[in-house]
Structure 1
């Protein structure tokens, strides 16, 4: 039944539209969103919509996306995914009660285990990571109360776990892990890295104003003197600026987004090349990373030609096939081809990402939306398209 309350996006949409003196047809023409979808939103038949759709409507109405969406969140993981990762959630919330007194962990042992698990995180090797992570969380928790070094190890592991939970769309669990990670941060730069991951979580949940405020506060606190900054300082500052830019562009603040990107570019120039401080893949930063995010902003603003142009400036080597930044960029490239009415090229890009990152792709709603649009433009589907549709959960 339609919702008669005033908390759903449709009520805000209807109110702002009428204040602007626009009919539903006029808003549809200005935004490119179908009038039927606008009607469903305003009548409460649909309680939420994609962030991309909300941004188009907000742009047409001349308001911030934040004002319109209030409460939007990306879809949480499905029940099968949540069930699969239940041992990790249990280890996060019940580590103390599961502690094994007969097998006391050591700092060196946990550090070595965490080092061995890093390639599983960075490579999106979820099936291999799943049995390893719960006991590692329990051991780190056991150490945290006994040794400051153990506490800092736990903070690092909790950040990785929070990142993993965002990756698999388990957002509430990610909130828990990242809040605890911040309590265990070893120093200011560790705190900045955790804050950057939390900004990503907030962006995924559509909490744009919070993401921007958090990234700006931390970037102000960590801004280095470029002439003497270390790579770790440049990476921390640069990533926070990229998060601020991502929040601003999604909130229809294009000038702010460009300004913060320019500062991030300055940090990347000072870095000189792609660099991974302390071997931490989450802190990898440099000129190519900035190009990735510049292209992402261009896609948010629906500039496919700019996305494709920027992609030509990205080195073909130097990034792992499992690099999330690389693969997220390739989804933008696929979307750009689709907007240029080249569905075959779009699918070829998707196929490459699927081959390189088979466990990462199914967790990307963006990939599912792109494939849905490709299928909608074809009369028949190839066997490979059907197989990918099954993997991504695209209805046929």
Structure 2
């Protein structure tokens, strides 16, 4: 498979067009069908034509020109959603509100924030992003309408909305937008004078650092965020333990990516202690944590540290009833970690069975995961119907690809 830059501009336009016809693209772009056909035949593009195609395809000009590759798994609707989300984040941060933006009640906004997080943790990222855009506008409108002296709560809700936007953007590979949104979330949480929200935002920024391969920065910030809210276990609430446990669990993930076994083990010990105090899984402030989360995350951490056998031993202690307590996205992520451990121990058929089950159960979630391709590459050239089925599910070839679709990171939250 050629690298993205090795395609001609016309070929790239055709690939981005997907299943739509040339006439349909022409209608979306406000161009004549002849102009679209000529563009795909590599007749030199004028700037107005290039910009019109960029808008219709919801793709940056740099992608059309081959200067950067498109994000694997993003369809036309995903790109449109991200563009709307980007416009909303930048406009609201600049104080630009639409005339028809209504200011819902605080209770309505809290319910909308919870709805966004539910979609996110169910692995419905495009839908979460579609809801996040009006949520950000509504929270900004609420803040604008709040009287002086009563704005702290509205600042907090706007921080929550920006944090959702940052998480969706980061998971879908839109790093610049993720950095921007999490920066605005930090400003709003500071204005709310809410230490817990600031720690949540810092942990979110640490995750962006992790996805951006800034591992030392990610670990430093993740550990600071956890330390800032470390509760006294003797009187900690379930809400406090949920947020703290998820923070320290994430710090353990970062340490494992750096190969720091000692620090990972120490952080995991703290994570398990928090989970044991809780007795079950809980959600709070857009985070999920409990004893099952601590164990399943430890499976992935051991895989990252090259301890596949230990990872599978841990997985053996997790029952189906335990798994049912996790969110849909957490269940599928845990399945990928198990599949990776099985592949690392040369249990090829088990790895493909586990992977196929996860991909079939959540195809929308699977579109945005890199690890399935890594597992298929590890299994190699095994000529089995099972391998062919899994390769079809992830839209991959059965052997390691060399083009722009190659997986480069297995990190997901």
The one-character-per-residue Cα deviations of 1:21-79 (angstroms, maximum 9, x if unpaired) are xxxxxxxxxxxxxxxxxxxxxxxxxxxxxxxxxxxxxxxxxxxxxxxxxxxxxx98357
Which of 246, 257, 274 is equivalent to 1:239? 246
5+ long unaligned stretches in structure 2:
1-68, 403-413
1:276 corresponds to? 283
1:101 aligns with 2:99: yes
Residue among 334, 343, 358 paired with 1:338: 343
Q: 2:179 is matched with which residue?
A: 175
Change (3 A) 1:237 1:77: same
Do the aligned residues in 2 keep the contact of 1:208 with 1:251 (CA within 8 Å)?
A: yes
**Match 1:188 to one of 192, 195, 200:** 195
TM-score (norm 2): 0.69
Secondary structure (helix, strand or coil) at the match of 2:383 reads coil
Inter-CA distance 320–353: structure 2 relative to 1 (3 Å threshold): farther
- Secondary structure, aligned partner of 1:265: helix
Quote the residue 1:146 is aligned against: 145
Which whole-Å deviations, capped at 9, do the CAs of 1:171-211 have from their partners, x for residues lacking one?
22111111211222252222222222222222222211111
CA distance 1:111–1:234, shift in 2 (3 Å): closer
Per mean C-alpha deviation after superposition, the further-off stretch among 313-322 and 137-146 is: 313-322
User: Aligned pair 1:266/2:264, yes or no?
Assistant: no
Query: Within 2, Cα distance between the matches of 1:76 and 1:184?
Result: 32
Aligned counterparts of 1:389 and 1:90: Cα–Cα separation in 2: 31
- Deviation of the 1:215 alpha carbon: 1.9
Tell me how far 1:380 sits from its aligned partner: 6.5
What TM-score comes out, normalization by structure 1 length? Answer: 0.72
Query: What is the 5 A alignment of 1:220-231?
Result: 220-231=227-238
Q: How many residues align?
A: 319
User: Does 1:205 find its partner at 2:212?
Assistant: yes
Alignment of 1:166 onto 2:160: no
Unaligned runs of 5+ in 1: 1-74
**Alignment partners' CA distance in 2, 1:307 and 1:375:** 22
Deviation at 1:309, TM superposition (A): 1.0
- Equivalence for 2:371: 366
* Cα distance in 2 between the residues matched to 1:338 and 1:296: 13
Deviates more, 1:261-270 or 1:238-247: 238-247
Match of 1:8 in 2: none
Secondary structure of the corresponding residue to residue 276 of structure 1: strand
State whether structure 2 residue 305 is matched by structure 1 residue 301. Answer: yes
Distance 1:392 1:85 in 2: 28
> Could you tell me how far apart the structure 2 residues matched to 1:375 and 1:350 are?
14
Shift of residue 298, structure 1, vs aligned partner: 0.8
Check 1:98–1:357 CA distance in 2 against 1; reply closer, same or farther (3 A cut).
farther
Match of 1:214 among 204, 213, 221: 221
Give secondary structure in 1 for the equivalent of 2:367: helix
- Label 1:107 to 1:392 Cα distance change in 2 as closer, same or farther (>3 A): farther
Name the structure 2 match of 1:122. 121
Change (3 A) 1:110 1:243: closer
Contact 1:154–1:184 (8 Å) recurs in 2: yes
